[in-house]
Protein backbone atom coordinates (compact mmCIF):
# COMPACT_ATOMS: atom_id res chain seq x y z
CA UNK A 1 0.00 0.00 0.00
CA UNK A 2 1.39 3.41 -0.96
CA UNK A 3 1.45 6.31 1.49
CA UNK A 4 1.26 9.87 0.18
CA UNK A 5 2.06 13.33 1.48
CA UNK A 6 -0.69 15.89 0.84
CA UNK A 7 0.59 18.91 -1.10
CA UNK A 8 -0.57 21.93 -3.07
CA UNK A 9 -1.29 21.77 -6.81
CA UNK A 10 0.84 24.84 -7.60
CA UNK A 11 0.63 24.40 -11.35
CA UNK A 12 -3.12 24.89 -11.60
CA UNK A 13 -4.38 26.67 -8.50
CA UNK A 14 -3.60 29.72 -6.43
CA UNK A 15 -3.10 29.09 -2.73
CA UNK A 16 -3.29 30.66 0.67
CA UNK A 17 -0.34 31.97 2.66
CA UNK A 18 -0.28 33.50 6.11
CA UNK A 19 -0.75 37.25 6.38
CA UNK A 20 2.34 39.05 7.67
CA UNK A 21 0.63 40.05 10.92
CA UNK A 22 -0.59 36.49 11.69
CA UNK A 23 1.11 35.34 14.87
CA UNK A 24 -0.70 32.01 15.23
CA UNK A 25 0.94 30.47 12.16
CA UNK A 26 4.18 29.95 14.07
CA UNK A 27 2.26 27.73 16.51
CA UNK A 28 1.27 25.36 13.69
CA UNK A 29 4.71 23.79 13.93
CA UNK A 30 3.68 22.61 17.41
CA UNK A 31 0.40 21.05 16.27
CA UNK A 32 0.94 17.35 16.90
CA UNK A 33 -2.61 16.14 16.51
CA UNK A 34 -3.91 17.55 19.77
CA UNK A 35 -7.42 19.04 19.91
CA UNK A 36 -7.33 22.80 19.29
CA UNK A 37 -11.02 23.76 19.51
CA UNK A 38 -10.77 25.32 23.00
CA UNK A 39 -7.73 27.48 22.17
CA UNK A 40 -8.36 28.23 18.48
CA UNK A 41 -8.14 31.86 17.37
CA UNK A 42 -7.98 31.24 13.61
CA UNK A 43 -5.23 31.75 11.07
CA UNK A 44 -5.24 34.96 9.02
CA UNK A 45 -4.71 34.04 5.38
CA UNK A 46 -4.52 35.68 1.99
CA UNK A 47 -3.94 34.58 -1.57
CA UNK A 48 -0.29 34.38 -2.55
CA UNK A 49 0.67 37.15 -4.97
CA UNK A 50 3.86 36.84 -6.96
CA UNK A 51 5.06 40.42 -7.26
CA UNK A 52 7.35 39.43 -10.15
CA UNK A 53 4.40 38.41 -12.33
CA UNK A 54 1.80 40.85 -13.59
CA UNK A 55 -0.76 38.15 -14.31
CA UNK A 56 -1.19 34.82 -12.54
CA UNK A 57 -3.30 32.47 -14.65
CA UNK A 58 -3.81 29.90 -11.91
CA UNK A 59 -7.40 29.45 -10.75
CA UNK A 60 -8.78 30.85 -7.48
CA UNK A 61 -11.62 28.37 -7.80
CA UNK A 62 -10.28 25.53 -5.63
CA UNK A 63 -11.68 23.46 -2.81
CA UNK A 64 -8.48 22.93 -0.83
CA UNK A 65 -5.12 24.60 -0.26
CA UNK A 66 -2.11 22.95 1.36
CA UNK A 67 0.84 25.26 0.73
CA UNK A 68 2.40 24.60 4.14
CA UNK A 69 2.88 21.02 5.31
CA UNK A 70 0.15 20.04 7.73
CA UNK A 71 -1.91 23.12 7.01
CA UNK A 72 -4.87 21.90 5.01
CA UNK A 73 -7.36 24.71 4.32
CA UNK A 74 -10.67 23.78 2.70
CA UNK A 75 -13.86 25.48 1.62
CA UNK A 76 -17.19 24.92 3.36
CA UNK A 77 -18.40 22.14 1.01
CA UNK A 78 -15.16 20.19 1.46
CA UNK A 79 -15.20 20.70 5.24
CA UNK A 80 -18.67 19.13 5.38
CA UNK A 81 -17.58 16.18 3.22
CA UNK A 82 -14.47 15.58 5.34
CA UNK A 83 -16.42 15.94 8.59
CA UNK A 84 -18.87 13.31 7.48
CA UNK A 85 -16.18 10.92 6.20
CA UNK A 86 -13.65 11.36 9.01
CA UNK A 87 -15.99 12.10 11.97
CA UNK A 88 -13.85 12.10 15.16
CA UNK A 89 -10.52 11.97 13.29
CA UNK A 90 -10.37 15.70 12.45
CA UNK A 91 -11.37 19.10 13.76
CA UNK A 92 -12.77 21.72 11.41
CA UNK A 93 -11.67 25.16 12.58
CA UNK A 94 -12.53 28.51 10.95
CA UNK A 95 -9.81 30.70 9.43
CA UNK A 96 -9.83 34.35 8.44
CA UNK A 97 -9.46 35.13 4.74
CA UNK A 98 -9.70 38.87 4.18
CA UNK A 99 -11.91 39.24 7.26
CA UNK A 100 -14.29 36.43 6.25
CA UNK A 101 -14.51 33.52 8.70
CA UNK A 102 -17.32 31.53 7.09
CA UNK A 103 -15.86 30.35 3.79
CA UNK A 104 -12.66 28.43 4.67
CA UNK A 105 -11.56 26.07 7.42
CA UNK A 106 -8.37 24.55 8.79
CA UNK A 107 -8.49 20.76 8.97
CA UNK A 108 -6.69 19.65 12.12
CA UNK A 109 -5.87 15.95 11.71
CA UNK A 110 -6.07 14.28 15.12
CA UNK A 111 -4.76 10.85 14.04
CA UNK A 112 -1.11 10.76 15.15
CA UNK A 113 0.44 7.32 14.95
CA UNK A 114 3.90 5.77 14.89
CA UNK A 115 3.52 5.29 11.17
CA UNK A 116 7.13 5.48 9.99
CA UNK A 117 9.24 2.37 10.63
CA UNK A 118 12.31 3.80 12.35
CA UNK A 119 13.50 0.68 14.17
CA UNK A 120 17.22 -0.02 13.77
CA UNK A 121 17.65 3.08 11.57
CA UNK A 122 19.94 6.01 12.29
CA UNK A 123 18.67 9.58 12.16
CA UNK A 124 20.56 10.05 8.89
CA UNK A 125 18.86 6.99 7.36
CA UNK A 126 15.43 8.20 8.48
CA UNK A 127 15.97 11.69 7.06
CA UNK A 128 17.29 10.28 3.78
CA UNK A 129 14.28 7.98 3.55
CA UNK A 130 11.95 10.98 3.93
CA UNK A 131 13.92 13.24 1.56
CA UNK A 132 13.92 10.54 -1.11
CA UNK A 133 10.19 9.82 -0.59
CA UNK A 134 11.14 6.24 0.12
CA UNK A 135 9.67 5.81 3.60
CA UNK A 136 8.70 2.47 5.06
CA UNK A 137 5.47 2.82 7.05
CA UNK A 138 3.98 0.40 9.58
CA UNK A 139 0.77 -0.84 7.95
CA UNK A 140 -0.50 -2.23 11.26
CA UNK A 141 -0.16 1.14 13.01
CA UNK A 142 -1.96 3.01 10.24
CA UNK A 143 -4.88 0.57 10.49
CA UNK A 144 -8.04 2.09 9.15
CA UNK A 145 -6.81 5.68 8.96
CA UNK A 146 -6.98 7.21 5.50
CA UNK A 147 -5.37 10.47 6.67
CA UNK A 148 -2.92 10.77 9.55
CA UNK A 149 0.17 12.36 11.04
CA UNK A 150 3.32 10.45 11.87
CA UNK A 151 4.43 10.74 15.51
CA UNK A 152 7.94 11.76 14.40
CA UNK A 153 7.09 13.90 11.34
CA UNK A 154 3.82 15.24 12.77
CA UNK A 155 3.82 18.50 10.83
CA UNK A 156 3.01 16.63 7.58
CA UNK A 157 -0.31 15.12 6.61
CA UNK A 158 -0.11 11.65 5.08
CA UNK A 159 -2.85 9.69 3.38
CA UNK A 160 -3.69 6.44 1.62
CA UNK A 161 -5.14 5.64 -1.79
CA UNK A 162 -8.58 5.57 -0.16
CA UNK A 163 -8.27 9.26 0.76
CA UNK A 164 -7.11 10.12 -2.77
CA UNK A 165 -10.08 8.18 -4.18
CA UNK A 166 -12.39 10.15 -1.86
CA UNK A 167 -10.89 13.44 -3.12
CA UNK A 168 -11.35 12.36 -6.75
CA UNK A 169 -14.90 11.02 -6.25
CA UNK A 170 -15.94 14.32 -4.68
CA UNK A 171 -14.11 16.45 -7.27
CA UNK A 172 -12.08 18.24 -4.59
CA UNK A 173 -9.62 20.51 -6.38
CA UNK A 174 -6.38 22.22 -5.35
CA UNK A 175 -4.38 19.29 -4.00
CA UNK A 176 -1.81 16.86 -5.30
CA UNK A 177 -0.30 13.83 -3.67
CA UNK A 178 3.37 12.84 -3.59
CA UNK A 179 4.25 9.25 -2.79
CA UNK A 180 6.15 9.25 0.52
CA UNK A 181 6.74 5.49 0.64
CA UNK A 182 4.99 2.20 1.23
CA UNK A 183 3.24 0.56 4.15
CA UNK A 184 4.30 -2.99 4.93
| pLDDT string in tens for the chain (184-residue length) | 999 999 999 999 988 888 887 777 777 777 889 999 998 988 889 888 777 767 778 888 899 999 887 899 999 999 999 999 999 999 999 998 876 667 999 999 999 999 999 999 999 999 999 899 999 999 999 988 999 999 999 989 999 999 999 999 999 999 999 999 999 9
Rounded CA-CA distance 72/86 in Å is 14
Cβ atoms of 157 and 69 within 8 Å: the answer is yes
Q: In the chain, how long is the greatest CA-to-CA distance? A: 52
Coil, strand or helix at 159:
strand
Rounded CA-CA distance 113/42 in Å is 25
Residue 47's DSSP bridge partners are: 16
Query: In Å, how far are 66, 119, 143, 150 from 115, measured between CA atoms?
Result: 21, 11, 10, 5
Amino acid sequence: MNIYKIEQDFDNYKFFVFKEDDKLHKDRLNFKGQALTNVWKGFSLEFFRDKRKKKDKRSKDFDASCYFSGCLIVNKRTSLLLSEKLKDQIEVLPVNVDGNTSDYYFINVLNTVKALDTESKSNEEILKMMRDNNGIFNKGNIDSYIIFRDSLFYSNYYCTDEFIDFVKQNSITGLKFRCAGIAE
